Chain A
Amino acid sequence: MPANDHDDPDDMLDGPIPDVDAEPTAAERAHARAFADLVDKTLAGRTPPAMSADDRALLEVATVIRAASGQVELATSKQRSLVEGALAQAIGGRSPAASLGGAIPIAVAARRRWLPWTVAGASTAVAAAAVIALWLGVGARREPPAAAQHRAVATVRSPDELIGPIAREQAGDASDRVDELFADRLDGYRAELYGGAP
């Protein structure tokens, strides 16, 4: 172990910085080849369980640089999971972070996206139907059969039917006839007004 790490030429991190035009040493070539193998294994998903701290630091830097260059491709399952998670979050569902490993399927997400519109549309249709029904008089108070019969009896009779022939001795009894006519029409008026027998 050298007394000063900066003096060890094999120390790639803390050693002296070689000249730009200097030829690589055998140790450097061997170290570069070993690190290249390590990167290839990592990209292939076979990262060694143990490595030196220097190699780990270099490997992380290499991964970041590669990812930043846009060359990274996610697995199909991971891509689908991320897309569905984003869609779910867009329609108000749980965020991907909140649903780790449980991304909402596309079909469910589609239903959730249509549900509010379907409810709103159906409500609008019902409201429109209610307005039309009100306009057309649907649901208006139905007259009880007894009231309808009473009204018919009370109103279909003309004054001639109601009063009948007027005898000579009753020629001046107009007051009595008006009373009778008024009472008859009042029955009909009440039946019409209140929808029931007076």
Chain B
Amino acid sequence: MKRLGVIAFVVVAACTSCTSGSSSSGASGGNDGPSVTQLGEPTEAVGKDLMLALGQAKNLHHRAKVLMADGDVAGAIASVRQILTLRFPAGAPEADDVRADARALLAKLLVGQGQLDEALRTVDEGLAEASRDSFFVANLYTVEGEVREARAAKLAGADATAERHAALEAFDKSLKIDEALQKKLAAEGK
């Protein structure tokens, strides 16, 4: 029995050492390539659920384009609104960005339809939902500026001036976010 114990110990110890070696190399695998950003593990970052949500957003955008080409702006607006209802994996940064971009397009479509208040509300919802600064949030501020420009054009006197000032503030915020992000990316060598 002592001999058997020795054999079992040697075999298990050999396998365990193999395991620890492979796991340690796997854990340090990130050192071989570029450093990982805030994204989680690749399997979490690029999973089936994320691809499904992105694929649906892609199709809905193209559907909206076809509808707009066909002159059906209302249909295009409805198609873009559907993007806001898509379910993304929890914590996926793509979710915020895709929704922000959809709201930016939606606001522009609403402006084209003369629905300025609805356009402004759409932008405000997107900004309120944003959890971090991004180029997509900056784009939302840009669209807010456009919406407020359009609103100012409909107003007169002090209201128009205030709306134009608000538009300028929105453009400034967009620029600041863009500058800050580009500096950050440049500092990280990206």
Q: Could you list which residues of chain A lie within 8 angstroms of chain B, going by C-beta atoms?
A: 117-118, 121-122, 124-126, 128-129, 132-133, 136-138, 140, 148-149, 151-161, 163-166, 168, 171-172, 174-175, 177-179, 181-182, 185-186, 188-189, 192
Contacts and interface: CB of A to CB of B under 8 A. Distances in A.
B38 A158 contact: yes
Contacts of A164: 135
Contacts of A189: 46-48, 50-51
Interface of B: 1, 3-4, 7-8, 11-12, 14-16, 18-19, 22-23, 29-30, 32-39, 42-43, 45-48, 50-51, 54-55, 57-58, 61-62, 64-65, 80, 93-94, 97-98, 101-102, 104-105, 108-109, 134-136, 138-139, 142-143, 146, 178, 181-182, 185, 190
Nearest to B108: A172
A171 B137 CA distance: 11
Given A171-B143, A175-B62, 5 more contacts: A126-B11, A129-B8, A154-B46, A168-B142, A171-B108
A185 B135 contact: no
Given A122-B7, A161-B185, A192-B42, A178 B98 contact: yes
Q: Which of A148, A161, A178 has the most CB of B within 10 A?
A: A178
Contact of A163 (B37, B135, B142): B135
Contacts, number: 163
Contacts of A186: 51
B11 A172 contact: no
Contacts of B43: 192
Contacts of A182: 51, 54-55, 57-58
A65 B51 CA distance: 99
Contact of B34 (A126, A156, A168): A156
B105 A132 contact: no
A166 B35 CA distance: 25
B4 A118 contact: yes
